[in-house]
Structure 1
Amino acid sequence: MDFQQGLITTIHQYGVTEDSLDLLRQGLRRKPTALLIPCLFEEFKRPALSLTKNVLQKLEGLNELIIALSAKSANEVSEAKRFFSDMPFPVHVQWTNGPAVIELLKSQEKNGLDLLGTPGKGWAVWQGIGIATRKSEVVGLFDADIKTFGLSYPVRMLQPLLDPSNGISYVKAFYSRLSQQTNALQGRATRLFVGPLLTSLEQIYGQGPFLKYLQAFRYPLAGEFAFTKDLGMNLRIPCDWGLEIGLLSEVYRNVRISRIAQVDLGVFDHKHKEIGKSQKEGLQKMCTEILSSVLRGLMEHQAETLTDSQLSTLEVLYKRVGQDRVKQFGLDSAVNNIPYDRHEEELSVQKFTKLLRPSIIQFLKSPVTQQLPCWARVLSCESNMQDDLVNAGLDLSLL
């Protein structure tokens, strides 16, 4: 790994010493810390979540583990609670789509708040933040499907936030996406879509502040991040696949760049998404929503929007940059003796190119999207909402 620094403070993994669990435990004693895992019940049937559980059992002193669970029945919620019953710290299983939760959130329509959102990770993250910030000063988030989860993940993610002298409010992960089965490169949405897209937009608009900020992150779509309570309370949460870019936009809006860090977690693998047969499926749908999130951020932070001629330019630029990246990743793979299917990568770039025009036209017709309001706003309407949400998430009596 290199030692370069840039706009965003980068915490490298030099491999000189092992990450210190003792130092993390000391930090956990200084600052109450929660971990949040948004989760579908189906993850309890896969080995990745068991691996995560076994690793987290070593984090004595953790203030709370919150499982933001989407489940079909009270029995599934009970099974999830049993799964985590032997942890050495409190665990709260939040039934995010439970009847009592739906009823509670729907009741806030009286205050003009739309809290129901679109079921998915964003909605689960929003609920989890509300619960975690009741008692904890630092919150870390990990997905439930990480196949390579190791102790270094929470150690490295949380440490920058546990010492106030660091002045850090937000930490974003980056890593090498490699398949455990084949060792092949993964992360096509980042490598072949977001990277070329940002490079192309920079050629159109120049290096504006928000674009420069997004390009400073080595893995802008990483779903693993950590933050302080005061930041978490002021984040609006997107409800689609633009969650990660949307959150980076919210962080940009709320804190100075000097208070942001990114940390290398090494090799990383989780479930892979197929590219999809149409623009409404798989990675194509995901990238459509990511594109909207990027364009919305440019509107908010740089007052930039695409004209018809710029859209045509973007199509040409993106395809050229994407094809160049395919060649670069091919050489990178060859020297590292890992498999690389150049034809499939080229096909991905072709499909991503074709979604640009219809996606952008649709976005420009309706650029405003639903975002769940920040918790600071919610509590200004209902001061007990966090506790009410916790109780509703535990209530199985309505079934």
Structure 2
Amino acid sequence: MEYVQERVATLHAFADRVPEAPTESAAVVVPLTEREHASLAAERVLTTLDRVDPARVIVALRASEERVDTVARWLDSFELGPEVLWCNAPEVRDALGEHGLNGPAGKGRDVWLALGLAAQEEYVAVHDADATTYSRAHVPRLLFPLARGYDFSKGYYARVENDRLYGRLFRLFYTPLVRALDADDDAPIVDYLASFRYALSGEFAATSDLVRRLRAQRGWGLEVGTLGDAFEIAGFSDTAQVDLGQHEHDHRAVGGPQGLGDMCREVATALFHAVEGAGLDLDYDRLRERYRRIADDLVEQYGADAAFNGFAFDAAGEREQVATYAEAIAPPDEDTRLPAWAETDLDPETVERAARQGLDRATDR
């Protein structure tokens, strides 16, 4: 067990303790898709949140018109009684269009829609609904630093399951890419991005003031984009990361729609917009070659770590993933981030009403 501090304050879970935290002043945002509904992981998350008893729980729901009634009724069955925000309701799309905010949709946009409402509370926590190891300690741990004066808190955890190392997108793409950036540019934002033990985790918490100032990537770049804004707003001194133990949740294939290959391109876009926005001028060809060398060294190190623990390890498969991920190292796509809630004329209550109207219509309530 180690107790090393990073450039950001690092809070270790040396014991299975639920710390005192301001849950009664916090809103919890849980993005959910119809494919996750009725899963054991999502059921565990929602049942456990009832024991946490935050001020609000907002489920940012993405579901088809044909399935939304089934999912909404399932959500209503929980004693917790979460607020259901149907993010892809036609009425919500119309409301966004009236403010010039239509565009690509995905997890990031769903979370952003919910953050507008969540920021009415003093603190906001966000986490996914796919962890089968979800604990009632997670939200209090995320919130604990905020009560001690930090503005932003990020969760980290070990992705070890069934005697294998997971967290492939983080291990094989994000980490070597940030190290490659650090080798070329001694920039504070790169140091900040390198400080997080699991930068791609979906778990974070922040003060409502910081939340209202976040721009949001529309899709899978949400987590990295959030770190880019947190660097500008909170910086090293007002950022903490907290230990959430060991996580077990869904795994994605590398190829195919919604696979890790697609995700890495969105992560890369978010990362490159963040560092270029901080003034870095990137040579993408040189960066790609440096990334490959660093990633190859990391595969060797992960292989040794796996062998040390008696884990299975597919070195050839990991190098194939590195080759796939390297293709994403190129000038980023157009910046389609949503604006900070503090800088838009769209009112969160307008979104809430539109989502409720859509849900009432689709569910015949």
- Please give the range of the TM-score, normalised by the shorter of the 2 chains: over 0.9
Partner residue in 1 for 2:86: 95
Greater mean alpha carbon deviation, residues 69-78 or residues 321-330 = 69-78
Greater mean alpha carbon deviation, residues 188-197 or residues 281-290 = 281-290
> Following the alignment from structure 1 to structure 2, what is the Cα–Cα distance between the partners of residues 242 and 324?
26
1:19–1:156 CA contact under 8 A, matched in 2: no
Partner residue in 2 for 1:111: none
Q: Verify: 1:187 aligned to 2:167, yes or no.
A: yes
Deviation, 1:218, is 0.9
Deviation, 1:169, is 0.9
1:170–1:225 CA contact under 8 A, matched in 2: yes
SS at structure 1 position matched to 2:245: strand
The residue identity in structure 2 corresponding to 1:20 is: V
Question: Which of 161, 174, 182 matches 2:156?
Answer: 174
How does the TM-score come out when normalised to structure 2? 0.93
Distance verdict in 2 for CA 1:265–1:42, change over 3 Å: same
1:295–1:305 CA contact under 8 A, matched in 2: no
Partner residue in 1 for 2:95: 104
Partner residue in 2 for 1:10: 10
Partner residue in 1 for 2:297: 324
1:235–1:375 CA contact under 8 A, matched in 2: yes
Q: Verify: 1:138 aligned to 2:123, yes or no.
A: yes
Partner residue in 2 for 1:293: 270
Q: Verify: 1:274 aligned to 2:253, yes or no.
A: yes
Deviation, 1:174, is 0.8
> Following the alignment from structure 2 to structure 1, what is the Cα–Cα distance between the partners of residues 356 and 305?
49
Deviation, 1:20, is 2.9
SS at structure 2 position matched to 1:371: coil
Deviation, 1:71, is 1.6
More helix by share: 1
Structure with greater Cα Rg: 1
Partner residue in 2 for 1:20: 18
Q: Verify: 1:126 aligned to 2:126, yes or no.
A: no
Where do 5+ consecutive residues of structure 1 fail to align? 109-113
What is the RMSD computed on CA atoms of the aligned residues?
A: 2.0
SS at structure 2 position matched to 1:57: helix
Question: Which of 143, 146, 151 matches 1:158?
Answer: 143
Deviation, 1:235, is 0.6
Q: Verify: 1:45 aligned to 2:38, yes or no.
A: yes
Q: Verify: 1:340 aligned to 2:332, yes or no.
A: no
Question: Which of 297, 312, 323 matches 1:350?
Answer: 323
Alignment of 1:235-254 (within 5 A): 235-254=214-233
Distance verdict in 2 for CA 1:102–1:169, change over 3 Å: same
Greater mean alpha carbon deviation, residues 66-75 or residues 195-204 = 66-75
The residue identity in structure 1 corresponding to 2:297 is: D
Distance verdict in 2 for CA 1:2–1:116, change over 3 Å: same
> Following the alignment from structure 1 to structure 2, what is the Cα–Cα distance between the partners of residues 372 and 44?
27
Percent identical residues: 30
How does the TM-score come out when normalised to structure 1? 0.85
Aligned length: 361
Deviation, 1:78, is 5.9
The residue identity in structure 2 corresponding to 1:350 is: A
